[in-house]
Chains A and B, each alone.
Chain A
Amino acid sequence: MTQVWRILCFCLIFIAFASADVYYLAEGAKNNGNAFAPADYLSQDIVLSQRIKWPDASFSWYGAFDAGQVAANESFYSKCLEAGVGIDIGNGWFVDLGKKKTKTGVGYFRKPTDYLKGGGTIGQNRSAASQEKVSEGLVGIDIAYMGEGVTFRGISIPRWDNDQQEQSLLSFASKFGDADYTVFLYRGDYASLGLNGNTVIGDSLELHMDSKWTQQMNRSLPSGSGSSTTTQEQNGVIDALLGCTYAFDPNTSLTIEYNYNGAGLEGSEYNEMLDYTQNYGPSLYDTYGLLSVAKHYLYERFAQTYTDCKLTLELMNANNLQDQSGFASIGLSQAYDQATVSLVARVFYGADRSEFGFAPIRSTFSAEVEMFL
């Protein structure tokens, strides 16, 4: 019944606001039914927004919806990504109420200061390019004051159900010379201080850093016998990313990032975790998540656009520096006025006993078509 109601709402919204931005996304890929291979999708997303002027303020409502069918199990799904009201009170004050996606990090591969997480994850197996587009927002209130050169922001996400954590985030953003910086104070299932920023040197070099210090958090470690895991409390955990993007010319750039993941393992602890995974089989990714089990990671991305034919070549590599495993991908994206076609091939590499050596598959290939109507 709930599903029928969702579909009905979706259709009504679509009919009522035909002027909305609509795009279709079809993605086909080898599907092994695990976290590494995206499922086959055919979906339709709608983004709506309307601003209503008021003498001293303006109100806008917004909504973004994603619906489609997962070919693997032929199930229909629909979800509301964002829906709410934004109020421009005037004098630099803004209030947003409702479901909203909020991203605050500045890293490319990882963003330690993207604090607000926890929205629904239907369709999370999509390619990296579309994953952010279909992620769900969180329901709460966002109050911002934008003064000249400074921005204060407070976000509160109440606890709506048992699966969700109450979260609050305060931030202050400003500039120091030519450098931007933002300071964060976060309270959720852990308390944390964050700092990110970036600057540009000369015509071609952009530098960025994204870091947080967490007062206390838990992590999994193999138990003494090595046949199970225990939870260990960790204090003063640092997660920091330092990166740069160098533009060789307007159409060619190289991004390199190093991530120190304080919650990760190294030395004997790391080896014990590999032994445990090799001997007892639970997925490292279920325990730690992707690119999270080790302390040191390096990422590289090279992109070149051939403007004459609107073709973009993208080479990416994510590397666990402790066991030299990782994944590399090559992507081609052809842009048209009304559509983009993307092809991505990804290879996982590393010794059998390594983070990505445990990956259940060695390669994926995905094709994605986006049409903008």
Chain B
Amino acid sequence: MLKKAIVLLALFSLGFSLEPNEVLKNIDGQRNIDNLIFDMDITAFNGDKKIDEYSISGFLKTVDNANKVLIYFTQPAASKGRKMLLEGNYMWVLFPRTKNAIRLSPMQVLLGEASNGDVARTSFASDYNALTCEGDTKLGKSALKLKLKAKEASKGSTYGQIVLWVDKEKLLPIYAEFYTESGKLMKLVEYSDNRTYRSATYAGKLDIHDATTPSKHTIMLYSKVGSKLMPTNYFSKEYLDRFSLE
């Protein structure tokens, strides 16, 4: 994958125009981990003040180009045992010591500024078409700037448009602006702390800022990443009651 990125970079340096969707696929390919399992700390801030903090364990499976995620809250104690199923805008939550799973609308985010899409997204190409790809500089780094638009079949995606900056050499995301379909800027995300698992490289830290209230931001930090095969039929609301980490 790195070789492919180098070839793409070389072509771009020589003035060849790159097919934006091809670049996007390579960006996704760099980060892809099959049957991803992860532990993540999510901390929400208002300015410097910490207002919320969660630790979650997640299982992610890609089925028919769509990500399905099962999440188990491990911290704080008051939230321990909360379980969620995320599948695009299809979201269910089961609270500890209750038996009725509740369906949530995308607006009912439970993770600070982080949306369901932020937690579940490992791929841009499955939901978005890249319209343009051009050279740029972002955060002092030489970058490629891509404009993404939600595919017709993914109109229900959390965001209608994304402007994504990736490191020109490594093709890894460094910054993104997320817009609604009507073009309103919603979130700014900074990707950092790149780490490697097997052949994949992923951003270990995502700092998500609310565009309307910039003082509000949420840091998503991967504390552990791995791979585990989980049957597809476990990713259903009916399984939430049986879902545990043991």
Q: Do A and B bind each other?
A: yes
A interface residues (Cβ-Cβ under 8 A, vs B): 21, 45, 47, 49-51, 60, 64, 86, 88, 92, 94, 101-103, 105-106, 111, 132-133, 144, 146-148, 151, 153, 173, 178, 180, 198, 200, 202-206, 208, 245, 247-250, 253, 307-308, 310, 335-340, 370, 372-373
Segment of B11-19, B30-38, B138-146, B228-236 engaged in the interface with chain A: B228-236
Give every chain A residue within 8 A of B233 (Cβ-Cβ). 92, 146-148
| Known A-B contacts A133-B98, A178-B90; A308 and B108 likewise in contact (beta carbons under 8 Å) | no
- Give the Cβ gap from B114 to chain A, nearest Cβ, in Å: 10
Q: Could you pull out 30 A-B pairs where Cβ atoms are within 8 angstroms?
A: A21-B80, A47-B97, A50-B246, A51-B246, A60-B244, A60-B246, A94-B242, A101-B99, A102-B99, A111-B100, A133-B97, A146-B233, A151-B236, A178-B89, A180-B237, A200-B104, A200-B105, A205-B105, A206-B104, A247-B105, A250-B107, A250-B110, A307-B52, A308-B49, A308-B51, A310-B51, A337-B75, A337-B76, A339-B78, A372-B76
Give every chain A residue within 8 A of B137 (Cβ-Cβ). none
Residue of chain B at shortest CB distance from A137: B99
Q: Contact check, A337 vs B105: say whether CB atoms are below 8 A apart.
A: no
A92–B246 Cα distance when bound, in Å, is 18
Q: Contact check, B246 vs A49: say whether CB atoms are below 8 A apart.
A: yes
B interface residues (Cβ-Cβ under 8 A, vs A): 44, 46, 49, 51-53, 75-78, 80-81, 89-90, 96-100, 103-110, 112, 156, 231-234, 236-239, 242, 244, 246
Give every chain A residue within 8 A of B103 (Cβ-Cβ). 106, 180, 198, 200, 206, 208
Give every chain A residue within 8 A of B44 (Cβ-Cβ). 307
Q: Which of B96, B100, B104, B236 contacts A106 (CB 8 A)?
A: B100
Q: Contact check, A337 vs B237: say whether CB atoms are below 8 A apart.
A: no
A50–B246 Cα distance when bound, in Å, is 7
Main secondary structure of the interface of B (DSSP, over half): loop
Give every chain A residue within 8 A of B78 (Cβ-Cβ). 335-340, 370, 372
A104–B103 Cα distance when bound, in Å, is 13
Q: Contact check, A86 vs B242: say whether CB atoms are below 8 A apart.
A: yes
Give every chain B residue within 8 A of A101 (Cβ-Cβ). 99
A148–B238 Cα distance when bound, in Å, is 11
A44–B76 Cα distance when bound, in Å, is 19
Q: Contact check, A144 vs B238: say whether CB atoms are below 8 A apart.
A: yes
Give every chain B residue within 8 A of A153 (Cβ-Cβ). 238
- Give the Cβ gap from A244 to chain B, nearest Cβ, in Å: 10
Give every chain A residue within 8 A of B90 (Cβ-Cβ). 178, 200
Q: Contact check, B107 vs A204: say whether CB atoms are below 8 A apart.
A: yes
Give every chain B residue within 8 A of A132 (Cβ-Cβ). 97-99
A201–B90 Cα distance when bound, in Å, is 11
| Known A-B contacts A92-B231, A200-B103; A338 and B76 likewise in contact (beta carbons under 8 Å) | yes
Q: Which 10 A-B pairs have the closest CB atoms?
A: A51-B246, A103-B99, A372-B77, A337-B76, A247-B107, A151-B238, A250-B109, A204-B107, A146-B233, A133-B97
